[in-house]
Chains A and B, each alone.
Chain A
């Protein structure tokens, strides 16, 4: 089970993305972060902390659950509905620059769902995307603006991001889907 990123690499990547965000934006006053459940949420919080450390600005951070927007919602051959968790965006997104945050960018379908969901909340000025891992194999024309690490994978592999807030430690590993 090869480790793609250890804890220190995860931390450095998030710090680097924070610096890139600061470089690309003249001001952070109009920026808001929205983490996609589940693991986009702690990454967004860490990113917000990083931005605060660099600039002293507190960037509002929201939580988005995209379950109700999934395009495979009613297409499970077997198995029940995915668990729905709360969306929590306590600020207006109208005319803001929104930075969507997720752990792994893969087919792009999650991001498509997130874009649909965001647009139901209002009319953002712009939407950018930050991910910790880009593993390729896109099925939709979607590209990340900030990437922690590009990890070439085969379709049979799965990328597991583990975060201290969820699993108790930071690491990114590649597993073969056969489970061995």
Chain B
């Protein structure tokens, strides 16, 4: 049977489909079809990065503000490259260089920005829900680039793109997420997305870093790393923030590595074609042995490359003017 015909507009071009949400604050804002649309669009966007002129005019004349209240090299750079590849005009505002340090409230910062009529605001903030606050105060579309311990939706999308590329599918895969689950926004976005696409998720970490009410997240918890890795198709490691030791979460980095660090030996229990993922930045010798980070099963740099494509896709799909 031939594939179904594309709906066609009067000028013969493919009819549009898109996202219903105004803002991307949580993976929960997206339906399964919308997640697939973003991933498919990102696949197409990857090609732009292979050209000699890595730039298309899709967002020409659009203003995108990157409003970062938290230090971030990887995510901010990734968004900025994505914006530049789509020809958007990009403005970067970092908390240290703005009036935020002078005591201005987030609400006032956003209203001042709004007066300059940006089309999209990308927000990274220490407080969970900061993106919701920003979205409620402005007409611009808001992309959450990480809000406290809440979510980091574009990270989960780029992880999914990476898994899909390597494994051809996500449905039915066994994914193990290991590390500081409690404080991880990457975990929260990933668990929503992986469930939506039908993966089986198990989680592992110190009992102090598990989530209360874990069962309601639909994941299988264990504090045994061997059990978590057993038969896994995907092993996703989360960053251990070194300052966590102050909250009595674990006694030392040394003991953390002994109990939960990913080593080549431990990885032998995983599926032979398992891939290793890490959202970065990595603490070598804490949550991941250098041999694993640099090993053949590591897709960590692919994740970075896919980050640009996913962010291009999200920017492109959110950039229409329907609700502006």
Contacts and interface: CB of A to CB of B under 8 A. Distances in A.
The short answer to whether A and B are in direct contact, CB under 8 Å, is: yes
B322 interface: yes
Given A81-B316, A110-B13, A166-B2, A86 B53 contact: no
B44 A87 contact: yes
Q: Which 3 A-B pairs have the closest CB atoms?
A: A80-B18, A68-B56, A68-B58
Query: How big is chain A's contact interface, by range?
Result: 35 or more
Contacts of B10: 158, 177
B57 A106 contact: no
Interface of A: 37-39, 65, 67-70, 73-76, 78-88, 103-104, 106-107, 109-110, 116-117, 120-122, 158-162, 164-168, 177
Given A80-B18, A110-B13, A69 B56 contact: yes
A86 B48 CA distance: 9
Contacts of A104: 12
Contacts of B37: 83
A84 B45 contact: yes
Interface in B192-212: none
A120 B53 contact: yes
Contact of B2 (A37, A83, A168): A168
Contact of B41 (A38, A84, A109): A84
A103 to B, nearest CB: 7
Contacts of B14: 37-38, 67, 82-83, 85
A20 to B, nearest CB: 23
Given A38-B6, A164-B2, A168-B2, A84 B16 contact: no
Contact of A86 (B3, B19, B47, B322): B47
Contact of A65 (B18, B44, B53, B321): B44
Contacts of B11: 106-107, 109-110
Interface string B4-30: 011010111111111100000000000
B12 A120 contact: no
Contacts of B53: 120-121
Nearest to A102: B12
Contact of A87 (B1, B15, B40, B47): B47
Given A86-B47, A107-B11, A80 B322 contact: yes
Given A74-B319, A74-B320, A78-B322, A84 B44 contact: yes
Interface residues of B, number: 42
Contacts of B17: 80, 83
B253 interface: no
Contacts of B44: 65, 84-87
B100 interface: no
A148 to B, nearest CB: 15
B51 A121 contact: yes
Of the candidates A82, A110, A121, A160, the one having the most CB atoms from chain B within 10 angstroms of its own CB is A82
Contacts of A67: 13-14, 58
6 contacts: A82-B13, A82-B14, A83-B16, A110-B13, A120-B53, A122-B52
B2 A73 contact: no
A110 B12 contact: yes
A121 B56 CA distance: 11
Contact of B320 (A39, A80, A120, A159): A80
A79 B12 CA distance: 16
B51 to A, nearest CB: 6
Contacts of A162: 5
Contacts of B313: 84
B316 to A, nearest CB: 6
A141 B137 CA distance: 46
Contacts of B51: 120-121
Contacts of B319: 74, 81
Interface string B217-259: 0000000000000000000000000000000000000000000
Nearest to A65: B44
